């Protein structure tokens, strides 16, 4: 799992080089100004709050500066917000003192108990993940039976593909080899992927040709 750089523009650049994973994510965040609004924030917040009830235990994976976790907390959810770098957590503590925040190592088993959450939310995270199979397995593990996986990721549907096909400059910028996006999803590929990892009732919806909003239910034990 990589950091959800929820406030960063797409196409941020960096390289692992000789750095470790933690240092890499710290460097990415250090290069970003504080207080950037997450892309498509209103759309994604509306989607998230429509599927979470007061009192539910929610894990915000890749919480960034805590904008979505704060919205969930205000709606009455019990929230644990986690990220793989300390810098976004530092910013989240400053902006939202009431949040429960934790640094986790995204390259290994998450230090969280089995079946301990009603909802796992990952906003603009899955496209940054190197080991997608391990990441989805961990999301499934920490969800209770019947719990919900909610996530968003950029949409690479027909509108985006046509734009990139018609502009070499746009294509080169979008797929810059130094960028931090590692995966590129369409509605069909995201739905198929989630289904493969023990989730039922998978629903993936494109919004305005920019973002995919996905909801799935952890298969019953």
How much is the pLDDT for 1? 39
Beta carbons of 3 and 180 less than 8 angstroms apart? no
How much is the pLDDT for 3? 39
Which of 100 and 164 is assigned the larger pLDDT? 100
Helices (H) and strands (E) counted in the chain, each on its own, are 8, 7
Which of 108 and 178 is assigned the larger pLDDT? 108
How much is the pLDDT for 163? 74
| Count of structural domains, the chain | 1
Q: Is residue 13 part of a domain?
A: no
Q: Is residue 9 part of a domain?
A: no
Q: Is residue 16 part of a domain?
A: no
How much is the pLDDT for 134? 94
Q: Is residue 194 part of a domain?
A: yes
| Residue 165 domain boundaries | 21-218
CATH code, 116: 3.40.50.150
Does residue 93 surpass a pLDDT of 60?
A: yes
20-37, pLDDT tens digit by residue? 677 877 887 787 788 888
In the chain, which ranges are continuous DSSP H helix? 21-30, 41-50, 67-74, 86-95, 132-142, 158-166, 168-174, 187-196
101-154, pLDDT tens digit by residue? 999 987 789 999 999 999 999 999 999 888 999 999 999 999 999 999 999 999
How much is the pLDDT for 149? 98
How much is the pLDDT for 18? 39
Q: Is residue 6 part of a domain?
A: no
Which backbone phi and psi does 190 adopt, to 5 degrees?
A: -70, -45
Q: Is residue 10 part of a domain?
A: no
How much is the pLDDT for 160? 65
Distance CA 125, CA 215 (A): 14
Q: What integer best gives the mean pLDDT of the chain? A: 86
How much is the pLDDT for 34? 86
Which of 19 and 67 is assigned the larger pLDDT? 67
How much is the pLDDT for 46? 97
């Amino acid at each position: 799992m990589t950091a959800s750089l929820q406030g960063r523009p797409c196409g941020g650049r960096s390289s692992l080089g000789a750095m470790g994973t933690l240092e890499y994510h710290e460097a990415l965040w250090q290069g970003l100004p504080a207080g950037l609004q997450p892309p498509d924030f209103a759309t994604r917040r509306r989607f998230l709050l429509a599927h979470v009830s007061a009192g539910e235990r929610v894990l915000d994976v890749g919480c960034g500066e805590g904008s979505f976790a704060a919205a969930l907390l205000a709606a009455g959810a019990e929230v644990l917000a986690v990220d793989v770098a300390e810098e976004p957590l530092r910013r989240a503590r400053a902006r939202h003192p009431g949040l429960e925040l934790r640094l986790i190592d995204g390259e290994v088993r998450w230090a969280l108990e089995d079946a301990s959450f009603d909802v796992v939310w990952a906003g603009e995270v899955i496209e940054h993940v190197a080991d997608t199979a391990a990441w989805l397995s961990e999301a499934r593990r920490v969800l209770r039976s019947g719990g919900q996986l909610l996530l968003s990721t950029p949409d690479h549907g027909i509108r985006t593909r046509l734009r990139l096909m018609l502009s070499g400059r746009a294509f080169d910028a979008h797929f810059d080899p130094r960028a931090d996006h590692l995966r590129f999803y369409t509605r069909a590929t995201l739905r198929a992927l989630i289904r493969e990892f023990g989730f039922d009732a998978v629903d993936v919806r494109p919004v305005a040709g920019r973002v995919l909003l996905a909801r799935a239910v952890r298969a019953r034990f």
